[in-house]
Amino acid sequence: MTSSLQSPFQGAGLSEVQPTPPSTDTPPLTIVIFGASGDLTHRKLVPALFDLMVDGLLHPETRILGVARSPKTHEEFRGELRASVQTFARSTNHLDLFSEFEKKIFYHPMTFDDPNGYTAIRTTLLSDEFRKPTRGNVLYYLATPPSYFVPIIRNLGSFGLAKINEDTGETPAPFTRIIVEKPFGRDLASARDLNREVLQVFAEPQVYRIDHYLGKETVQNIVVFRLSNPVFGNLWNNVFVKSVHISVHESVGVEGRGGYFEEAGILRDMVQNHLFQLMTLTAMEPPVAFEAESIRDEKVKVLRSLKPVRIDDLPRTIVRGQYTVGEVDGVPVQGYRNEPKIPPLSDTSTFVRMKVEIQNWRWAGVPFYLTAGKRMSKRETLVRIVFKDFPFALFRLAGTPGTVPNELIIRIQPNEGIALRFGIKKPGGSLMIDPVEMNFSYQQAYRAQAPEAYERLLHDAIVGDSTLFARNDEVENSWNFMAPFLGDLTKLSPLRFYTAGTDGPEEQDRIGEPSPA
Ligand code: BG6
């Protein structure tokens, strides 16, 4: 297994280089996308596959078979995808290559419970036009609403599509894999049920549970930065760290996904998956080897070390918020309860701040604050490590502001980079300490535009590297911890309202230390 964290995308500024010749390292395959009419396919998956092709990371004999309910021809589907690629792909200066790309695209209309549809997919995959050039390799992608996951998985099992390649005797043996989109369940019981369903049909190594935050270059860098820099790696513990703040602020609202969001809320939409990924990568022990199973083992240990939250601890552990009418970037926006498909008295949180504790030798006593919010003043994802002060502040005696909290700020997005905050003597006669920042910016340091998260993850699934995907026990342990937060919180943590375009409800500072500015 190759280390997934060694980027296959290193290179010069992509906007300035010519398309790379097609890869012979990535295997040919058919990618069957269930949910081919959906937003995810149009905004993320197909643009990412196009970008992979431009970067030479897609085998020329790749086939993409879109499956969805709406009747349409291959040609109509290709036309729709052309528009998506034009709008959402990174490599828009190589749109001339779309004519090459569209030759790989096919469409199959069916409802996800229709047996004839699965028979037709089987016939297609086994046909000479698909089987020979792709050497029988298949990757299914579940990009549908979650309610279709189980019916599709069961049908893939019943129609022999999960084992379409078994016992062919070929070398290398063709692979069959499946990518399952988030949300993977909506609580522990449903995640277990889904895992059981998936694992009845596929073996665990065939299953890729996606969390696109793991595909972000800056998220992968959390581990690389910690484990390659002794000056920081040696301070990464409760002897030196006072608190850890992980925040994902979004300026967008629910973006036409009101029906889904009302069911999910920010805890299921962002915290259980994206924020927990950021937390486990920040907190995990160095793995015994830099490969999928060792890294996932360490992440699971963090989840298992989370101090369980008792129901009566909830008021001290979580603050929930919901946005009201306001303005974001000078544009008026409506309140959550006025968004389409949201009931007028909805109790769903669009903001949370939670305090969690990791009970192990490294982190005991260090609070981790997790904050996620929609319709905040700006889009900003940060991991902020606040270091402990000296036990005695010498300069305070001189009547100065004293010490400056030392902070390491990992900017995940946007303005990707890392900053270190410290104090210096302000030039001049009097003894004053000024806070200053040492700043690293990816944009300034590298001309190359980093690949999109979905490019990285699709590529990893194609080459069979599961490091950046969640294992079943990871998902189950995170839902297990979340259980007390998923019940009715109206009394224990009443909803606090905040104006859209601000930084969340004032009450958030009731949970432990205020968020650093
Ligand atoms: C998705 C959530 O998983 O992540 C969305 O469902 C959210 O609600 C999105 O907006 C954020 O992703 P990114 O990459 O824009 O930070």
From 45, 211, 270, 323, the mutation candidate for ligand 1 (largest count of ligand atoms within 8 A of CB) is 270
Report DSSP letters for 249-291, one per residue: E-S---TT-HHHHHHHHHIIIIIIIIIHHHHHHHHPPPPSSSS
Ligand 1 nearest-atom number relative to CA 264: 6
Residue 14 pLDDT exceeds 50 = no
Query: What are residue 507's phi and psi, to 5 degrees?
Result: -65, -10
**What average pLDDT does range 368-387 have in this prediction?**
97
Residue 422: helix, strand or coil by DSSP? strand
Convert the pLDDT of each residue in 402-421 to its tens digit.
678 899 999 999 999 999 99
Does residue 514 surpass a pLDDT of 80? no
| Helix, strand, coil shares, percent, the chain, to 5 | 40, 20, 40
Side chain identity at 341, as an amino acid letter?
Answer: K
Question: Is the peptide bond preceding residue 151 cis, with omega within 30 degrees of 0?
Answer: no
Distance 276 CA to ligand 1 centre (A): 14
Q: Does 215-450+471-511 match 14-181 at the fold level?
A: no
Q: Which of 44, 56, 48 is nearest to 11 (CA)?
A: 56
Return the structure tokens found at 357: 């504790």
Report the phi/psi class of residue 274: left, alpha or beta, with left for phi > 0 and alpha for psi in -120 to 50: alpha
Q: What is the mean pLDDT of residues 372-385?
A: 97
Residues with CB under 6 A from ligand 1: 250, 252, 269
Instruction: Please check the confidence at residue 5 and state whether its pLDDT lies above 60.
Output: no
Rounded to 5 degrees, what are φ and ψ at 406?
A: -80, 130
pLDDT for the residue numbered 291: 87
Nearest CA among 205, 113, 127 for reference residue 164: 127
Please tell me whether the peptide bond between 172 and the residue prior to it is cis, using omega within 30 degrees of 0: yes
From start to end of 270-366, where are the E strands? 318-324, 326-328, 331-333, 351-357
Residue 45 token pair: 């998956």
Residue 13: pLDDT band (50, 70, 90) is very low
Per-residue pLDDT reduced to its tens digit, 294-333: 999 999 999 999 999 999 999 999 999 999 999 999 999 9
Angle of CA points 428, 432, 438, to nearest 5°: 95
Residue 21 Cα, ligand 1 centroid: separation in angstroms? 32
Comparing 347-361, 372-386, 387-401, the range with the smallest average pLDDT is 387-401
Give the other-Cβ count within 10 Å of 222's Cβ.
Answer: 21
Q: From ligand 1's centre to the CA of 280, what distance in Å?
A: 18
381-404 pLDDT, tens digit per residue, is: 999 999 999 888 777 666 666 678
Residue 6 in this model has a pLDDT that exceeds 50: no
Torsion of Cα atoms, 180 then 184 then 188 then 190, to 10°: -80
pTM of the model: 0.91
The protein residue with its alpha carbon nearest to ligand 1, atom 9, reads 270
Shortest-distance atom of ligand 1 to CA 182? 3
Task: Report pLDDT for 1.
Answer: 35
Mean pLDDT score, 473-495: 94
- Burial (CB < 10 A; 0-12, 13-18, 19+), residue 424, is exposed
CB atoms near residue 415 (< 10 Å): 12
Q: Residue 400: its pLDDT value, please?
A: 64
Catalytic residue among 94, 212, 274, 459: 274
Tokens representing 132 are 């020979």
State the pLDDT at residue 517: 52
Calpha distance 228→386 (Å, rounded): 20
Q: Which of 269, 378, 452 to mutate to test the pocket of ligand 1 (most atoms within 8 A of CB)?
A: 269
- Per the annotation, the verdict on 59 as an active-site residue is no
The pLDDT value recorded for residue 439 is: 96
Asked if the model's pLDDT at residue 101 lies above 50, the reply is yes
Protein residue closest via CA to atom 13 of ligand 1:
213
* Rounded Cα distance, 60 and 129, in Å: 14
- Mean pLDDT computed over every residue of the chain: 90
Worst-scoring range by mean pLDDT, 55-59, 224-228, 432-436? Answer: 432-436
- Return the structure tokens found at 198: 């998936």
What beta strand segments (E) does 58-200 contain? 63-68, 105-109, 138-142, 176-180
Measured from the CA of 250, which atom of ligand 1 is nearest?
10
Question: Tens of pLDDT along 216-270?
Answer: 999 999 999 999 999 999 999 999 999 999 999 999 999 888 989 999 999 999 9
**Which CATH code is given to the segment(s) 215-450+471-511?**
3.30.360.10
Q: Is the pLDDT of residue 30 over 60?
A: yes
> Per residue in 129-143, pLDDT tens?
999 999 999 999 999
DSSP assigned state of 394: G
Residue range 168-196: average pLDDT? 90
Q: What is the DSSP string of 339-352?
A: STT--TT----SEE
pLDDT higher than threshold 80 for residue 365 = yes
The one-character DSSP state at 390 is: P
Q: Give the helix/strand (H/E) hosting 243.
A: strand 241-249
Its CATH architecture, for the domain 14-181, is 3-Layer(aba) Sandwich (3.40)
Q: How far is the CA of 24 from the centre of ligand 1 (A)?
A: 33
* Domain ranges within the chain, ordered by starting residue: 14-181, 215-450+471-511
- pLDDT tens, 33-46? 999 999 999 999 99
Tell me: the pLDDT tens digits for 455-472? 999 999 999 999 899 999
Q: Answer for the pair 318, 494: CB distance below 8 angstroms, yes or no.
A: no
Q: Which of 268, 151, 225 is nearest to 442 (CA)?
A: 225
